[in-house]
Homo-oligomer: A and B are copies of this chain.
Amino acid sequence: MNFVEERIVMDGVVRPKGVLKVDAFLNHQMDMEFLDAIALEFTKRFAGTPVTKVLTIEASGIAIAASVARELKVPLVVAKKTRSMNLDGDLYVAEVLSFSHKNINTIVVGKKYLSEGEQILIIDDIMANGCAMQGLISIVEDAEAHVAGCGVVIEKAFQEGSDRIRNLGYRLESLAIIKSMDSETGKITFAE
């Protein structure tokens, strides 16, 4: 097991219906040393890939994406969730269905923060159904920028998101790939 898998086993909690709680260290209380180790791992995996900006979506991926942007010395852009149609200025817009919250969010990025030809690394905490990632990808493509790659800390491979992203031809790097989880025993099985 790598350091991310070890931490998930130690501090993660498996709940019914494919829910994994990683509140204790990743997305409610955050261990900054752990986040920086994650950032270092992403920069290793994407070494040699030009990146001009890191893009994430609010809220639970922000601290992780900020660590990655710091490590790569590039700006971070955070797509905002909004239910408001009263959007100000020129925006790229996508619709995203949330697995955790079972609702649809409109996500937006100001047009001036993504430019044609930029190399965008998309970072998020968890990939479940992949809708957030697809929304971010569609925004990057609307901007005529290039998806340099996608990185998630935890991929729930038993849900459809990761296959969907890879089938679309994007490079997805997941630091921990969960093949299955059992909420009765708490057992988590990772991909090799």
Q: Does A63 contact B (CB under 8 A)?
A: yes
Copies in the complex: 2
**Which B residues are in CB contact (< 8 Å) with A28?**
77-78, 80, 109-110, 113
**Which B residues are in CB contact (< 8 Å) with A32?**
66, 69-70, 73-76
Q: Does A176 contact B (CB under 8 A)?
A: no
Tell me the complex Cα distance, A76–B24, Å.
Answer: 10
Contact of A75 among B29, B62, B110 (CB under 8 A): B29
Name the residue on B nearest A112 (C-beta).
Answer: B24
Q: Does A87 contact B (CB under 8 A)?
A: no
**Which B residues are in CB contact (< 8 Å) with A31?**
75
Q: Does A142 contact B (CB under 8 A)?
A: no
Contact of A77 among B29, B70, B76, B112 (CB under 8 A): B29
**Which B residues are in CB contact (< 8 Å) with A58?**
58-60, 62
Contacts known (A84-B101, A101-B84); A30 close to B63, Cβ less than 8 A? no
Tell me the complex Cα distance, A36–B71, Å.
Answer: 12
Given A59-B81, A62-B63: 16 more A-B contacts, CB < 8 Å? A24-B113, A28-B77, A28-B80, A28-B109, A28-B110, A28-B113, A30-B78, A31-B75, A32-B66, A32-B76, A58-B58, A58-B62, A59-B59, A62-B66, A63-B78, A66-B67
